[in-house]
Amino acid sequence: MANTPPGWYPDPSQPARQRYFDGNQWTEHVSDPAPQPQAPAHPQGAVPHQQAPRQEPSPLEQAAELNVSRPDDPSRIQQQVQHQAGVQPQGAAGGGTLFTEPVLVINQKAKLIELNNEYAVFNQQGQQLASVVQVGQSAAKKVVRFLGNYDQFFTHKLEIRDGHGQVLLRVTRPAKLMKSRVIVERGDGSPVGEIVQENVFGRINFSMQVNGQEYGKIVGENWRAWNFAIVDHTKTEVARITKTFEGVAKMVFTTADNYVLQIHRQLPDPLMSLVVASALTVDTALKQDGG
């Protein structure tokens, strides 16, 4: 395995299963193959679109929807990963969950006016792993958002849900004036940590903290705050966020943004959960308020 990049590969002792290689040695993380279904079924970890939890939009939300929607085409997801983000296909597929895949694609639903933030999370093959919905908004708050750009003065609460509607993570950005602070919790409400914006001008940085201790940083690579390197407490890069371009019309007429999150190796929690929440943090803290 000399010079082999980190990733999921056939287990030397049991080739039918996948084992994670961290670049130096085999780890204890394994992924057993799913049993073969008797009838066609969605791949493990994929979200059946017809079962994704979704409330019927109100007339106000329908008026804000973009007229032309982009289908979740796996080939377009793969193109987004390989050609726009420059991430080459991994040697083997990940574990099929939000916390085991080496590449996550976070695409925001395009709307003319953002009243209720929604995202879909895919793996690099284009299979949907999770959905992200905004919760806790009153009708009055939606009316205010419809009338103008006041997002920074509101608290935003997002839930990351699996295909069965189970909440995996909660991401909350309290109202702000200048710098954002994002609170990350597990699905049961127990705390994970915080992602705190450190500066307003220049290359934007965030500190990932647990109980006041810094576990890592999200470091902007340029003043436009498009791409970010994620480093651990030793300043070693463990992941990377790349903002991808989805066309002039979407960029000009909507606040929707798409991201590719490449995770270089399997990380321990709580760092893994903070990394998974990082792209949503960047979008909620920086891009939504700028729309």
Q: Where are the domains of the chain?
A: 1-32, 52-287
Q: Which string of DSSP letters, residue by residue, matches 220-266?
A: ESSTT--EEEEEETTS-EEEEEEEE---HHHHHH----EEEEEE-S-
Contact 149, 254 (CB under 8 A): no
Task: Supply the pLDDT for residue 289.
Answer: 52
Q: Please tell me the predicted confidence (pLDDT) of residue 36.
A: 46
Q: How many CA atoms lie within 13 A of 251 on its CB side?
A: 6
Q: What is the pLDDT of residue 128?
A: 92
Give the pLDDT confidence score for residue 134 in this predicted structure.
Answer: 87
In this prediction, residue 276 carries a pLDDT of 96
142 in Cβ contact with 279 (< 8 Å): no
pLDDT value, residue 43:
43
Q: What is the pTM of this model?
A: 0.69
Alpha carbons 261 and 117: distance in angstroms, whole number: 19
**Long-range pairs for 28-35 at CB < 8 Å and ≥24 separation?**
29/95, 29/100, 29/266, 31/94, 31/95, 31/96, 31/100, 34/96
The tokens describing 39, both together, are 């009838």
Q: Name the fold adopted by 52-287.
A: Tubby Protein; Chain A (3.20.90)
CB 62 within 8 A of CB 124: no
Torsion of CA 117, 121, 124, 126, to 10 degrees: -90
List the chain residues with pLDDT less than 70. Answer: 1-3, 32-72, 90-93, 111-115, 138, 140-153, 225, 246-256, 287-291
Contact 243, 257 (CB under 8 A): yes
Q: Give the pLDDT of residue 245.
A: 74
pLDDT digits (tens, 9 = 90+) for 189-228: 999 999 999 998 888 999 999 999 999 999 998 877 679 9
d(CA 228, CA 245): 15
